Each structure stands twice: as C-alpha cells, then as structure tokens.
Amino acid sequence: MTPVGLLLDRSRRERPHLEWKIRLFAAGAVLGLAGMYLEERWLTGAGIVVLAAGALVRFVPVGIGPKETDEDSDSRDAGGGQV
C-alpha cells in the first residue's frame, strides 16, 4: 500500500448534512465572487458569512431530522437484490 493510500478514507460512512454543506458552499462562493466582481464589500462579506455558516454545519447534532422507521428499513432491504 502506498503512503497516499493510507491518507484516503474510502469507507462508506454516513455524511450528515452533506446536502446543506454543498448548498451553503455554492451560495457563499457565488456571493463572494459576485462581490469581488462588482467591488461591493458588503456582498463579499455576505459570501464569507455564508461560507462560515457552511463550516459550522458540521457541529449540528446528527439526531436532528426525520427518524427512520422499521417499515422504511424493511422496504430498503427488499430492494430487489441491489449490491
């Protein structure tokens, strides 16, 4: 195994709130770039604030959100032999 292979984590673990992190990153990037292009300090600052909010999403507890019921997990298990 190469040294680079030791640093990569390819396990399939749950990544909580990934969609929100991506949305906030995209919005912050657009705001920041628009602020730089238009030379508007407040717009660039708003982009930085949105990017910081995206970084803070990692500290939101994982338990928040819809609960999975037994029926949901049973219907996923009977998915027709998906690997």
* pLDDT tens-digit series, residues 11-52: 666 778 899 999 999 999 999 999 999 999 999 999 999 999
In a domain, 8, yes or no: no
In a domain, 44, yes or no: yes
- Nearest Cα to Cα of residue 51 among 26, 17, 19, 16: 26
Terminus-to-terminus CA distance in the chain, angstroms? 26
Q: Would you say how long the chain is, in residues?
A: 83
Domain of 26?
Answer: 15-60
Domain count, the chain: 1
Confidence of residue 83 (pLDDT cuts 50, 70, 90): low
pTM, two decimals, is 0.60
Residue 78 has pLDDT above 90, yes or no: no
63, 66, 72, 73: CA torsion to nearest 10 = -10
Task: Find out whether 35 and 44 touch, Cβ atoms under 8 Å.
Answer: yes
Count of other CB atoms within 10 angstroms of residue 18 = 10
In a domain, 19, yes or no: yes
pLDDT at res. 15: 78
